[in-house]
Structure 1
Amino acid sequence: METYGKILLIAMPAFLGLVLFEKWFAWRKGVDNVNTQDMISSLLSGVTNVTKDVLGISIAIYGYGWLLENLSIYNIKATWLTYVVAFLVLDFSGYAVHRIQHRYNFFWNGHLVHHSSEEFNLACALRQSISGLVKIFAIFLLPAALLGVPEKVIAVVAPLHLFAQFWYHTVHIKKMGFLEKIIVTPSHHRVHHAINLEYLDKNYSQIFIFWDKLFGTFQEELPDKPPVYGITRPVQTWNPIKINFQHVALLIKDAWHTQNWKDKIRIWLMPTGWRPADVSEKYPIYKINDVYDFKKYTTYLLPFMRSWLWVQLIALLLFISYLFGSIAHIGAPGIFLYGVFIFLFVYAFSELMDNHKMAWIWEFVKFIYAAIIIISTKDWFRLNDISPYLKYFILFYLLISLTMTGYFCMGFKRIAMQEANNI
């Protein structure tokens, strides 16, 4: 946990800098596809995901260490060739997992957040799942385990493999010549994120595109079919926590409502998007039928609200940086209590972006939670070791945050009343 947290302290500013550079670049070109709320929602999704990972809130079934210990035939030393083999095996594993996530209802829940943005930019690469608490896919690393690839090699290669998937989430890099035949390029991944009928469920590869070509899931980006991004049942919220559990909530409700007992069981492993016939008829849900004619999700930005969203984002990144840099110093159970605060922060923040008139309630819960910690411990997770006055600054900031949220919620109510009077 501590090592991963230190790595993220370096990676986060780099990712944020690239996201902001892309926004500036798009603005300069006059094709700004980095909507403020959408970008912040993506960053919030990244924050929740890395917080879950750093705190180790997941259960690995048949983890790689277990496979290595029980199934290895050889014991390979950690040479440069070992790292190459591990990278290729990990890439194939990524392809297989990715394909399963797209094809089956239950597993789609752990991946749809990545596709939930209706834009395609570097920020949406940070939309990663927090709902995958149980990890079962180490089995796809079986070839590496059989060959005896050391666990430390996988530990090094895995984050490199993940970070290498960031750069191709952009519309600003067009076709890349001969590289299109070897690696996943922005053009390939634009196809993957598109909801055009021609592009659905294509290009699952993560680094090397030859997996798609080998298994028949490759599709080239067509010049006369510009990709349209998102998912066919749009999430219609900026809240990454809600997005993470929307699909599984629908599966649970459908399984409950259907009168067919066979459907109650098979719904989980049916193709993605499948619903029982009786439920689909009685409880219809909105689905995009014409990808070239639908309204993208958007919300109001009241006066001063855009500036306040940036203030909140900076504050959140400061809070998360302190957690990642002080995991060992804070210790357990403090780091988990801190994690609850981060999730409350994200939820309250995104409810505000969604223009919910009752967003102040979540902000109030966040304030009370933090105030109880500060009052009961007379500290903020060992922050007294730096300065005994910083906890009062945090309390003051949280009070300002509550006040500003209340102010904006009053604005949302006024707008709702005006719209009601105009109907």
Structure 2
Amino acid sequence: MDPLHAPFDPVALAVPFFVLTIILEIALTRFKAVKSHYETKDTMASLGMGLGSNVAGLLTGGAAFAVTVWVWNHRAFDIPMTAIWAWVALFFLEDLTYYWFHRLSHERRFWWAAHVNHHSSQHYNLSTALRQTWTGVLAGTWALWLPLAFLGFPPAMLAIQKGISLVYQFWIHTEAIKRMPRWFEAVFNTPSHHRVHHARNPRYLDSNYAGILIIWDRMFGTFQPELDEEAPRYGIVENLTSFNLLRVAFHEWAGIAKDLAGSRSLREVIGYLFGPPGWSPDGSRDTSATLKAQWDAQQAAKKTDLAA
């Protein structure tokens, strides 16, 4: 097997499945056979973002691949693509890498700017999974996978496993499936877990960063179960009012540029770039942490009122 060129692309192979299941979910929704919500403009925006992401990848992905190959050429070990143990090890290591990539993409504004478009839909259905970034390569988060290349995992293996992860995550973007069996919910990322991740309810913010395995969230304290008494409300804290693809793709980058133009110190520059989304020098804007704190205070006040 060629260590530099994957013999197949999991995502490309799955595209017909993506299209057919989206059509099926829409049809079942129309007949009220499943719970789901589709809006034509929103769905078209998601499909447009998916197409644009593929184009952006073709234009910018070569540089990331070249760096990955260079790192692999200076690898510490030789890991054979034909060894089963290597694929098992890569499954866990790649999924752990994805967890930290995903967490970083939510907790630091520079990388959130490249990821926020995926959360910009106020609906949650299979088409939402296709609402992918146009600027991910430029944001540089692909560098988090370079240590795996340095260890000796061939670039082709990395490409296949990353593709498998992306294909897996497609089916969890749905409201049609309420819960999987308890053992499955305990180990794997599921529609229930990922609905929480896409919710803008203060209780649910910044949680469930899993790719395939939810165990990382359980290990690192970011797991939040979906609660029957609180249905997820989807989108971002300040929802977009436009389906314009350029606005969907670049609105947070434009916000960063505006804030940087008004910065008055190096501290403000660093804060606007690498602080949590919503950071401001005077604390006048809400971050996930402040929204959660406000929600906690409201819940405590309600309990006090009930006790009185």
Equivalent residue number for residue 161 of structure 1: 165
C-alpha spacing 1:229/1:59, structure 2 compared with 1 (3 Å): same
Equivalent residue number for residue 275 of structure 2: 270
Percent identity over the alignment? 33
Supply the AA of the counterpart residue of 1:17.
L
Equivalent residue number for residue 198 of structure 2: 193
Map 1:62-81; keep pairs closer than 5 Å. 63-81=67-85
Q: Deviations along 1:225-245, whole A, 9 cap, x unmatched?
A: 111000001121112222111
Is 1:61–1:135's contact at 8 Å kept on the other side of the alignment?
Answer: no
Say whether 1:49 aligns with 2:58: no
Map 1:18-417; keep pairs closer than 5 Å. 18-29=21-32, 31-56=35-60, 59-60=63-64, 63-134=67-138, 136-141=140-145, 144-177=148-181, 178-277=183-282
C-alpha displacement of 1:276: 3.4
Aligned residue for 1:221, secondary structure, equals coil
C-alpha spacing 1:29/1:193, structure 2 compared with 1 (3 Å): same
C-alpha displacement of 1:91: 0.7
Is 1:89–1:141's contact at 8 Å kept on the other side of the alignment?
Answer: no
After superposition, the CA RMSD in angstroms is: 2.9
C-alpha displacement of 1:132: 2.2
Say whether 1:15 aligns with 2:18: yes
C-alpha displacement of 1:157: 1.9
Aligned partners of 1:143 and 1:6: how far apart in 2? 22
Number of corresponding residues: 282
C-alpha spacing 1:62/1:139, structure 2 compared with 1 (3 Å): farther
Give unmatched runs, 5+ long, in structure 2.
Answer: 286-290, 296-308
Q: Deviations along 1:53-84, whole A, 9 cap, x unmatched?
A: 23445632983323322242344453222122
Aligned partners of 2:41 and 2:222: how far apart in 1? 33
Supply the AA of the counterpart residue of 2:149.
A
Aligned partners of 1:104 and 1:269: how far apart in 2? 5
Supply the AA of the counterpart residue of 1:262.
R
Supply the AA of the counterpart residue of 2:278.
G
C-alpha displacement of 1:222: 0.8
Give unmatched runs, 5+ long, in structure 1.
Answer: 281-286, 292-423
C-alpha spacing 1:151/1:77, structure 2 compared with 1 (3 Å): same
Aligned residue for 2:74, secondary structure, equals helix
Aligned partners of 2:214 and 2:139: how far apart in 1? 25
C-alpha displacement of 1:28: 1.4
Aligned partners of 2:141 and 2:82: how far apart in 1? 23
C-alpha displacement of 1:50: 1.1
**When the two structures are superposed, what TM-score results if normalisation uses the length of structure 2?**
0.82
Equivalent residue number for residue 295 of structure 1: none
Supply the AA of the counterpart residue of 1:215.
F
Aligned residue for 1:78, secondary structure, equals coil
C-alpha spacing 1:32/1:76, structure 2 compared with 1 (3 Å): closer
C-alpha spacing 1:62/1:93, structure 2 compared with 1 (3 Å): farther
C-alpha spacing 1:29/1:4, structure 2 compared with 1 (3 Å): farther
